[in-house]
Structure 1
């Protein structure tokens, strides 16, 4: 039997965490040959050279596509996309995969999708159909959907949106979020193990904070993040603050410097380039709330029965559990919402993004399709939208 080559692309630590168990399932399947391309932040010393974590996890990295420029301006990011397309074109010519698997909505993934489309490589896209009105990720995600041939969505609302984009209903699968697979399969660290791993003593109350740049908001990321830091400062030294640093988006480096400066004057706070999935999920299980504007606050955190303080519009439009509390990026509002989160009962929260069996479902559907090349010629499917 000739194994089919399934190429998975990952460009960030968070994305890799979502893809981990799917990659394991493909790696262990006797009908498939896993290929891995790493790009973006994985290859940046500034963001921790996280491709090494992938290798330590027992995966072979087949190709590295360097595309990040040192600039995080809009011009720098646009040029990075161009470099990515060139790099992916060369990598795909060498690997010649039968199918490419992409997740999400980052600009690195857009570059991979464009190269695969022109190379006539069918694309399976995970997490299409979601909405994030506060970031240009929204347009990127829908663009990747139109370049893709198989759609593994995380919820039924997302499936409806993909159908509205004219995609074949037979190739739209509601599999849930693959990020929940980690929660079901990992043995999480105890409180003392988290403290040792982080080299940080947890307080009576603790917050996990991740704030990414907002790319479409009228209020600059710098100003929004300043409001958040002022709110955190007002909590006092009795609240432990654990920061994970932001993505390599526009103004990302400015936010990183602001975090570093904040840490210097706050002994109750510590920051990390990358926690990795085990430490990240374990930390969620031992803090009192997650604060910021990361999609993880909507996807994974509700499964821990913990509240999410979701700031601003970056995740606006996404399906939300009852444990998610939205707030404006204003100091007083953020502070009020954090105190509300400290007292919120999340014991009966249901995560709307599935049951943690996404990876199994995706591999099952991939194996049901005998010839991926037949997917390339797409027909626009009209739907009645009232």
Structure 2
């Protein structure tokens, strides 16, 4: 067990559900549970330990341990910025579509990809039955979902989850640093790849060693045709692949490769620019930029992960805590929304009828199994389409017949 300093803030009375994590999965789970009349504590750590996400700041009217759902700092970025058209019916079902559309997130009209050849091939959302997708301002989107959960009756608490002991969560209140115990009949683990609760109950299967090095270049004038392009551009290279897209903060550029294959120079601005300059299509989107103005790159894990089991008596995992995907899938946020909603419904059913617990958790597990199976098929197919570098360790590892997906890592 991880050692922590002694609990100094006492112990709060039990609630029906503690939802650990205030991202899309956690916020939607809290929303569903609160609408079902359950007492819900939604814990959001304000981005502590994840430098690319901003901390929500509490104002003078906010009680200690609570946080205003919609407040975010300027100048911060959270990657995971694409919401596909298929999110529209789910947002509508949750009663969130009108509010989401009113927020004015930039639309995504499709993608361009140089994958399998040097030529760019376009895929438009024009004929998608759900219309276009969106380039999200993730901080604003996440805050919107938390606001909806609070409006439904969930209590939002700014706290970082440190550990779990039975029906208690050990949390560190933000910004005071006071350590507190919270009790709940059920817990939803939406702590992302940290998987604070789930890792105590199951084991995590790792797909590969994929990491993302990324930075955001300042916006250029919208009349610059290279920078104004609204489609995401994906480009495969010998050591991995790149993508770039416009987000409200500027132009996001991301390089995906395996941790053991990553050039150490990617950790500095000049090295990142040098690697970027060797691309064909991505560099054209950066025609107005140069090495001197390249922001310092940041890094994030991007490998697939799966928790097994992802649910048990008294707890369920949702979002990246249950299933984390390679960014090539473009399904991360959509999966977080779906798993959050299903987790909330499963726990609602368990609280309403304890005799229904086994069946409810089995249904939830089957739902996750279906998502994982579809992802594995699509992942294997997508990577099999790139065959230009047969000797490249990155691509050789991803050929059909190589390391099994979600093999133990």
Relative contact order: is structure 1 or structure 2 higher (C-alpha 8 Å, sep ≥ 6)?
2
More strand by share: 2
Q: Which has the larger radius of gyration?
A: 2
TM-score (norm 1): 0.31
More helix by share: 1
